[in-house]
Structure 1
Amino acid sequence: YGNARLSRLVARDEMRRSHPLELIWRVLPDDHTPSHLELRVDTKLLAGLKLELLPPPGSGLPPLAVDWPEADKGWRLAGPVAAVAASAESGGQSLLHLTLGPTAGPGATVPPGAWRVVVRTTLTEPVRITARVQRDDTPPGYRTLGRQSWLDHPFGWDWDEEARGYVAPRGAKDAPGCPVTREGTCVAYAGAENSAEDLAILFVGAARPLTRDPDTGEPFTRHPGAVKASAYSSEGVGHMARPGESFGPTLVALGDDGLALPGKRAAGVVSGSVTRMSGTSMAAPQVARALLGYFLTVPPAEQTAAGERIALTGTADWARPDRRMGQGMLVG
């Protein structure tokens, strides 16, 4: 389902004429790859939307100011350094794609730092808008070329009880709210057309065992199987969802052995060796194995969608998924 919950890659807000969307897009130095930011609104609300992109102070570059409906004509800053383009998507959505060139490399580069993004509505209100930064980091084990840009906001640093630090975006229920959010941080194909409702596609989140009750601090003796969603495991949308967005994973499976022991043991590249790997990619194979066990043990004529659900979560009653835990923990 994704591992980007803590990466600060998503923002959503409800704009009004007196309340624009304002974000700081932090582009890192020594990034050899382009950075991409996607903005989406309902196509029928495009009229009167204006975009401003202000380069970092002291960069000497001119700002961009454009009407969103006119952005499909394209805009380029100093050749390959930056560009913007708009396009229509299925589901009545309009996409505006901002691209910044690398901040390092042999060719033209953009200045790293705080790029300020402002979107205003001058006619229609309210207008719901979603901003999403594309993944740009380098997987472990590869030469470091890409560095992940991310979204910042003055109200994006509240107390996170689990992390024990001021690293959480302010919740949507608090005022003034913070558009940067952990909701909707799932992989892009979880929001593809019909995928969220297609029960033939299972999206798996990661969880970890709980050894103590988070409220009382007492050890779990009566419920040794208690689990909690891993902090990094992506979260579905609960507020201001746009059409097609995923509400949560289908279910979760163990992706970590504990808070102090992240990951699961897996086979290493050398014969007889093991390594620890974490993430929802470690949880998903467990669900695949459970499904395979169901298909191998239940005659084809007796296999049903309800039977698959019971084999996975112990119940056939699947309603709207929880943002973090989906329909629950994989049984067994």
Structure 2
Amino acid sequence: MSYRAAARTGHRSGLLAPAPSAVRSGITFYGCEKDEAVLLREVAPRVGVRPTIIAEPVCDANVELAIGNRCISIGHKSQVSNPTLLALRGAGVEYISTRSIGDNHLDVTYAASVGIAVGNVAYSPDSVADYTLMLMLMAVRHAKSVIRRVDMHDYRLGEVRGKELRDLTVGVVGTGRIGTAVIDRLRGFGSRILANDSRAKTSADHVPLDELLRQSDIVTLHTPLTADTHHLLDRRRIGRMKPGAFIVNTGRGPLLDTEALLDALESGRLGGAALDVLEGEEGIFYTDRRTNPVESETVLRLQSLPNVLITPHTAYYTEHALRDTIENSLLNCLNFESENQHG
């Protein structure tokens, strides 16, 4: 059984007052950032939860901190190995709530094979949708070059003029909650919108992926990462894109073949890219590298390009979405406990 929080588009999860049937429970929260801890200490006691708050990600060395708690909550910033999952089961863990929409940082199939159910959370899609539109606008207005020049006190106009969204065709790949929210915002700008999804979920003009790539001035990625969508935009598909087009990725890094993207950008075939997620971001994003230089040649090549914007997987990170994430992770665990009470 999948224990997933209900989708929410702007409302609190209703956890501020516990339901009469709420189960008093202990839950271990691993990889808990300071802002998450503040919210947990505010919300958890109101729903009868005794949180054990751990700053470090779950690993073999701290599995014992889950002993006595059937449910744990984990962050998305670190991979969880199969040996750690097995050790968690040995410690009595039966359910993991990951504080993220995606679950690619752990092997869900292996977890199920050792008796651990895994659930993700829903949070406001507006956080990522707003950020996606911001990246689109920054990309087509060449914001990186403008900001760099101004930082050097060069206040002249750039050689390349920007574009207006109303003049552009935007292809939205993936029309789930976030993709749909992006489409809603694009309508306000007057863009022509094309969409591609295995299931047509919106009233947008759905077309085959290759047709979307051929016609779109901007392609934005919002599909889940699966075996089928890994390198969804590979060298062949990037080669079919409209010359001068832009790619925006706030979904998952491996949706893009980064080497093929680099070749298209460095050759001038594509107009630019705005990337909040990257292949190989693990160990780089969410770390301070001011005195410990990045060793990834791919990341350094991307960052050196004036028409490439990179941000460190931060599109989701708003006050509203953070509260949704904490509340819905708690709710997932409470639902599991209430539905799996041992006699």
Classify the TM-score, shorter chain: under 0.3
Q: Scaled by the length of structure 2, what TM-score is found?
A: 0.27
Q: Scaled by the length of structure 1, what TM-score is found?
A: 0.28
More helix per residue: 2
More strand per residue: 1
